Amino acid sequence: MKKLTFALGKYRFQIYDRPGCWMKKNELDRLQGRLTEVAEKRLKKAPTFSFFKDTRHLNNKLVIFSTDRKTGEDLCYCVMAYLGHYRKRSVLHLGAVYSVREDKGMMKLVYTLGLMHVFIKNWFFKRVYLTSLTHTPKIFGVVHESFEHVYPNHKEGGKPGRFHLNLKDIFFNTYLNEWDLEEKPAIDSNFVIKGFRRQQDGSILYPDTTETVPRHRKEKYNKRCIDLLNYEKGDEIFQAGLSYGFITILKNTRVFNQVFG
């Protein structure tokens, strides 16, 4: 299914599966404009990486929009990326999420709807491998709580398994090609990518500090994430894990109560 539109409460949701493969150029340009507009409202400037710069990068993307049914305003979206396959199972990068206001429940909901779409395509029973990039303790903890066998997590001294290392290689050979990087950055044993958010002009993309970065409700995730990263240098942390369809949906059903309850 290429496109799906449905309503929940006062919101309308739209799912576009690999829009770069079937949309006409003018449709892709409009979609890119919608994506840029929401991000610019949030960041106060337009991002210039990946699909924000080149619509060809929408060929492997899954886009989920949340829109106000009354006003038609785009409120929130996430853009996931199909990175390929590992052991004959899909590899999905959780990608970018933007909201015009600080609405963490809605941001998690668009992710959940996107995952449900992928699970349906995989008949619910097949595992899906997942990757994520973040520098926020909030997302660092949510990824660990929402999925299975996630590395890294709040525990010190852990080591990545073989599938974590293979997912890291897949990520580095696919998703990073969408960024204008002079050379691929190094990643340490804790899966920290040094200076990833430092741009060519020297500025830091999403310039959070240890004081401003969104926190998780559990201090163990805040401490671990902040201890791993150098915020002044623009470090980012890579996480890898997997999901089991129904199990993941059941673990995340509470997000519907947070938004609609």
pLDDT, position 258: 45
Highest mean pLDDT among 35-39, 196-200, 207-211: 35-39
For residue 246, is it within any domain? yes
Distance, in Å, from the CA atom of 222 to the CA atom of 202, rounded to the nearest integer, reads 27
Distance, in Å, from the CA atom of 10 to the CA atom of 15, rounded to the nearest integer, reads 17
For residue 191, is it within any domain? yes
Residue 254, number of CB atoms within 10 A of its CB? 12
**Has residue 183 got a pLDDT over 90?**
no
Residue 96: φ, ψ to 5°: -105, 150
Q: What is the pLDDT of residues 228-246, one digit of tens each?
A: 999 999 999 999 999 886 6
Domain span holding position 93: 3-256
Distance, in Å, from the CA atom of 3 to the CA atom of 10, rounded to the nearest integer, reads 20
pLDDT, position 146: 86
For residue 251, is it within any domain? yes
pLDDT, position 47: 87
For residue 17, is it within any domain? yes
For residue 82, is it within any domain? yes
Q: What is the pLDDT of residues 118-152, one digit of tens each?
A: 888 876 567 899 999 999 999 999 899 888 999 99
Handedness of CA 144, 148, 154, 158 (dihedral sign): negative
For residue 261, is it within any domain? no
Half-sphere exposure in the Cβ direction for 141 (13 Å, CA): 16
Domain count, the chain: 1
